[in-house]
Structure 1
Amino acid sequence: MDWASLAGLLLGLAGILAGQALEGGHLDSLLQPAAFVIVVVGTLGSVLLQSGMATFLRGAAMLRWVFVQPPDLSRTLTHDISIWSTTARREGLLSLERFIDGVQDRFTAKGLQLVVDGVDPYKMREILEVDITTYERRERQAAKIWEAAGGYAPTIGILGAVLGLIHVMENLTDPSRLGGGIAVAFVATIYGVGLANLVFLPISNKLKTIVADEVRRREMLTDVFCSLGNGDNPRVIEERIQAYR
């Protein structure tokens, strides 16, 4: 669990509620189902229209990374690379085949297989870089659904405000119904701006950071596999790894 993410979200919400209380307001005044439906459902519809179903579902699935980040494999990876390079130096590249079945990461297994197959290092780099580019493009597009939501939500909040004011104008002769329309008008704007800046945009930026870290890990592995293919000394490979830290 990433407690910093959870604390950040709760702190942002607490700041708004505390400010509302200090101004003498009540929590009930911020709970407007109509405004929530307008902003949230409208935003989701806009994002789905922009991204398509597959990208939308992938971006929604990535949400768990904000609170439960993917495991940090850097320590075990460094140890594994040391074993690979030493084994290849002593027993040859074919000896690395026994490590492939124990690797759970598809990219790592693919790289090891290319090394074992004796693929030319330049061709190997080309193959792996295409894999990295495809991965990065797919994951970044999925993460951008949250950035898109952060862009649409404030505008849809304004739309909710206009709808609330229209409701007010239609009921000028009935003062008992004016308060509800005005409340929806202002609260819809709060929902739009608040969700964009406290939830959607921070989530997008965090997911982009996680994707960038994974891309950097794969780039490091690409250098390692090409070095193995070239028959570089384990010490040289270790120095290249240090450059990524």
Structure 2
Amino acid sequence: MDPMTILGVLVALGVVVGGHYLDGGLVHQLVNLPAALIVFGGTFAAAAVQSPKEEFGRAIRLLGWAFGGQRYDFREGINELVAWCGMVRRDGILTLEKELERTRDPLVMNGLQMLVDGKSSEAIRNSLGTELVTLEQNDLRGAKVIESMGGYAPTLGIIGAVLGLIHVMGNLKSPDELGSGIALAFVATVYGVGIANLLLIPIANKIKGLILTRYNYQEMMLEGMASIAQGQNPHVVRQRLQGYLR
């Protein structure tokens, strides 16, 4: 789990609830099941309507990545590539077969397999380059689905508030209950604006950053494996990849 993301969500929730409490409100006033159903259910439904099945499913998986997905260590990746280069120069290309079992990144695994199969550096760049760009574009579309949820949520909050007011106006015979009823109706607006600006839009932007980081990492690994296919010296490989370090 990513502690910063978890901490950010908890702080955001605490700021809203704490501010409401310090202003004299009660915590239970922010709990409204019908409003939650309208805002959360409506937001996901709207996103599902606008998106193809594959993109919507990808967006849901990307939500999990934001809270605890794989992270990429560029320095460790360079050290790994340099080690592979030394192994190949010392023991031959087939020594990389045992590295296939240790690699979790599918693109890197494909690159290692191509190296073992004796593919040229140009073939590796062409094949993996296409795979890299396709993966990036697909995931960016998934991130845009999450971003669109941030646009729908405030509108659904307004719809929830209006429906609540309709219910209140239908009970004008009980004027003592109007104040609390109106306050309860606007909880839907809090839900909509809150999850959009404190959760969905920030998470969408975080995922875009993670996608870019992964792209740069995999591009670095691709370049390193192509250099191995060219028979480059480990020292040259390290120098070539230093530009990817941050």
Question: Equivalent residue for 1:175?
Answer: 175
**How far 1:65 moved relative to its partner?**
2.8
Shift of the 124–49 alpha-carbon distance from structure 1 to 2, 3 Å rule, reads: same
Whole-angstrom distance in 1 between the partners of 2:97 and 2:15: 56
Whole-angstrom distance in 2 between the partners of 1:118 and 1:169: 76
Query: Retained in 1: the 8 A contact 2:72–2:214?
Result: no
**How far 1:156 moved relative to its partner?**
0.9
Question: Equivalent residue for 2:79?
Answer: 79
Shift of the 16–84 alpha-carbon distance from structure 1 to 2, 3 Å rule, reads: same
Partner SS for 1:67? helix
Query: Retained in 2: the 8 A contact 1:43–1:149?
Result: yes
Query: Retained in 2: the 8 A contact 1:140–1:208?
Result: yes
**How far 1:168 moved relative to its partner?**
3.0
Q: Give 1:95-244 correspondences, 5 Å limit.
A: 95-176=95-176, 178-179=178-179, 181-244=181-244
Q: Give 1:17-56 correspondences, 5 Å limit.
A: 17-56=17-56
**Corresponding letter in the other structure for 2:242:** Q
Gaps of 5+ in 2: none
Partner SS for 2:48? helix
Partner SS for 1:63? helix
Question: Equivalent residue for 1:6?
Answer: 6
**How far 1:176 moved relative to its partner?**
4.9
Shift of the 192–224 alpha-carbon distance from structure 1 to 2, 3 Å rule, reads: same
RMSD value, Cα: 2.2
Query: Retained in 2: the 8 A contact 1:34–1:184?
Result: no
**How far 1:193 moved relative to its partner?**
0.3
Q: Which moved more, 1:167-176 or 1:197-206?
A: 167-176
Q: Which moved more, 1:40-49 or 1:113-122?
A: 113-122
Partner SS for 1:153? helix
**Corresponding letter in the other structure for 2:18:** A
Query: Retained in 2: the 8 A contact 1:32–1:184?
Result: yes
Query: Retained in 1: the 8 A contact 2:74–2:244?
Result: no
**How far 1:107 moved relative to its partner?**
1.3
Query: Retained in 1: the 8 A contact 2:2–2:67?
Result: yes
Q: Percent identity?
A: 40
TM-score, normalised on structure 1?
A: 0.89
**How far 1:7 moved relative to its partner?**
1.7
Query: Retained in 2: the 8 A contact 1:160–1:184?
Result: no
Q: Which moved more, 1:122-131 or 1:49-58?
A: 49-58
Gaps of 5+ in 1: none
